Amino acid sequence: MIPIAIVPQLEEILKRHTGTEALIDLTQAVGGGSINSAYRIRYAGQDYFLKYNQARRYPRMFELEAKGLNLLMNNNKIRVPSVIGTGEAGQTSFILLEHIETGFPDNNFWETFGEELAHLHRETNETFGLDHDNYIGSLPQSNAPTTDWSDFFIAHRLKPQLKLAAAKNLLNSKILNDFEKLFYRLAELFPREVPALLHGDLWSGNFLCDSNQKPVLIDPAVYYGHREMDLAMSKLFGGFSPRFYESYHSAFPHEAGWQERVDLCNLYPLLVHVNLFGGGYVGQLQSSLNRFV
């Protein structure tokens, strides 16, 4: 059951959205998330998707998620759920989204997905980062605008996660020293590219296939970064067809050697997983790091 304190606000948002005065007449828990509670709700015969959490635990999380979704939507390259509204009542904050009816991928799904992501990545910006910070999972993510990718990657991706992991005693001195060695040569490892608009957390749990067999991106951690970050993250836990990468390459050719840099890019999400889920990811982190130091 959803918290009673947020129901009046939800119904007011939906009244404005639909132009119809009604009551929420269905709430059904939806699984799959590890951070927030999620429900499908029904109002005036239409289904919507609701996520909520403790307001003080993750300040502005849903407001920032809404900004990221709207940024992706405004670029009109790949479908994302429409944001109906966000709010806070009592001790609970929430985001209300369009409900996506899911389907099964057809023969063109992966080609469409790769091409649409490539078009998204062609959206650029003067600097890496964003005009606001946000979250990756439940961890704060700094997006301070930076002109150089390697500087941004060190200062606003790797170092904050390393500091947090070290404070939790999750990393040994060898890993910390190896990262310091990496920082000195990072600029020579990445090919120079203009900032690309990224989903930012592109693993197989963060996309859907809708009822028209089209890809839909969900749960973004949006920023302008090196486009290989999204491609590498898609390989971290698998679940993407080779046709996805082939289609992407046809629309926006990969830089030479991009697959050799997958482990380099994934140092960031691996550090995030160390901080979220503990030491089980430390061995994989060290193994990836060993390739570059």
CATH number at residue 249: 3.90.1200.10
The CATH number of the domain holding residue 62 is 3.30.200.20
Nearest residue to 233 via CA among 195, 206, 254: 206
Q: Give me the long-range contacts of 57-61 (CB less than 8 A, separation at least 24).
A: 58/93, 58/135, 58/138, 61/93, 61/135, 61/138
Among 54, 78, 98, where does a domain finish?
98
Query: Global pTM?
Result: 0.96
Both 275 and 242 in one domain: the answer is yes
- 3-class SS at 58? coil
Which alpha helices (H) appear in the chain, and where do they start and end? 7-18, 61-75, 109-121, 149-153, 159-167, 173-189, 228-236, 242-251, 262-265, 267-277, 282-290
Both 125 and 155 in one domain: the answer is yes
Both 167 and 43 in one domain: the answer is no
Both 40 and 171 in one domain: the answer is no
Whether 104 is in a domain gets the answer: no
Residues 117 and 110: their CA atoms lie apart, in Å, by: 11
pLDDT attached to residue 278: 87
Both 9 and 113 in one domain: the answer is no
Whether 103 is in a domain gets the answer: no
Both 162 and 237 in one domain: the answer is yes
Both 74 and 170 in one domain: the answer is no
Percent pLDDT > 70 in the chain is 99
Q: Which domain holds residue 88?
A: 4-98
Both 82 and 114 in one domain: the answer is no
| 34 has a pLDDT exceeding 80 | no
Whether 212 is in a domain gets the answer: yes
Both 24 and 51 in one domain: the answer is yes
Tell me the average pLDDT of the chain: 96
| 32 has a pLDDT exceeding 70 | no
Residues 60 and 22: their CA atoms lie apart, in Å, by: 28
Among 98, 127, 154, where does a domain finish?
98
Among 72, 98, 124, where does a domain finish?
98
What's the structural domain count of the chain? 2
pLDDT attached to residue 31: 78
Which CA distances in Å does 290 have to 50, 150, 151, 264, 283?
A: 42, 18, 21, 10, 11
Whether 118 is in a domain gets the answer: yes
- pLDDT band, residue 33 (cuts 50/70/90): low
Which CA distances in Å does 42 have to 14, 21, 121?
A: 10, 13, 35
74-106 pLDDT per residue, tens: 988 999 999 999 999 989 999 999 999 999 999
Which residues are part of the catalytic machinery? 201
Both 8 and 127 in one domain: the answer is no
